[in-house]
């Protein structure tokens, strides 16, 4: 029996951390759909046409070590705005969401486009400043030389692009549980998500 949890939200809001913890708690499979777009973006930066890269995406491409780099992050947002790229990746995501035993998918259009019939939809968000601080610390820990101001500008530009795109814009599903993690610890955010999902399982 399938049970789908759709978790959406902007960059650095905490949806990836929450999704992994939720999947582990309930014993569900987990898919970070952003990695699909990052893999396509990385191949585009290697010289591939983004639509061709999406159509020929292989699970091995998700194992690249540069998928979290700033260059790939920005390119991923751009390729995600290409309707043909999104169409090429939809079937893969929907099949994953319908798998037996339960699945958690996190991204930007899971609850609105990929799995609109998901049993649970969460929209994880946080203030621009909090998200920028989180991402800056993450990048600094990885040795990336940047400033909080630069990261904030990049996050705001990505939010603008993701929310304004014609195909599957970033927005909460009408029936999504909105989880603002700005003032939450990781444990508090995970607990709130688990509670929301548990309510729907009863």
Element containing residue 105 per DSSP (H, E): strand 103-107
118 is in an annotated binding site: no
Residue 143, annotated as binding a ligand: no
Q: What is the rounded distance in angstroms from the CA atom of residue 171 to the CA atom of residue 67?
A: 24
- 65 annotated among ligand-binding-site residues: no
24 belongs to an annotated ligand binding site? no
17: annotated binding-site residue? yes
Residue 167 annotated as lining a ligand binding site: no
Cα-Cα-Cα-Cα dihedral sign, residues 198, 111, 29, 142 = negative
Q: Which long-range contacts (CB under 8 A, 24 or more apart) does 183-192 make?
A: 184/14, 186/14, 186/17, 186/21, 189/14, 189/17, 189/18, 189/124, 190/17, 190/18, 190/21, 190/22, 190/25
> 196: annotated binding-site residue?
no
Contact 103, 1 (CB under 8 A): no
CA quadruple 105, 1, 98, 29: dihedral, nearest 10: 30
Cα distance between the two ends of the chain: 15
Structure tokens belonging to residue 194: 């688990």
Is 181 part of any known ligand binding site? no
- Annotated binding residues for ATP: 9-17
- Annotated binding residues: 9-17
């Amino acid at each position: 029996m399938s049970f789908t949890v759709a978790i959406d939200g902007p960059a650095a809001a905490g949806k990836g951390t929450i999704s992994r913890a939720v999947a582990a708690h309930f014993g569900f499979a987990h898919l970070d759909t952003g990695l699909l777009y990052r893999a396509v973006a990385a191949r585009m930066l290697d010289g591939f046409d983004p639509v061709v890269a999406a159509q020929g995406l292989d699970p091995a491409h998700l194992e690249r070590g540069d998928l979290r780099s700033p260059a790939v992050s920005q390119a991923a947002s751009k390729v995600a705005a290409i309707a043909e790229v999104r169409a090429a990746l939809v079937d893969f995501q929907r099949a994953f969401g319908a798998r037996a035993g339960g699945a958690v998918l996190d991204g930007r259009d899971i609850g609105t486009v990929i799995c609109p019939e998901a049993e649970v939809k969460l929209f994880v968000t946080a203030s621009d400043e909090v998200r920028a601080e989180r991402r800056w610390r993450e990048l600094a820990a990885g040795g990336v030389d940047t400033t909080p101001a630069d990261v904030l500008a990049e996050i705001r530009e990505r939010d603008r692009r993701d929310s304004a795109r014609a195909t599957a814009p970033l927005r909460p599903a009408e029936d999504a549980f909105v989880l603002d993690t700005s003032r939450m610890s990781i444990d508090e955010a995970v607990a709130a998500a688990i509670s929301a999902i548990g309510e729907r399982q009863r």
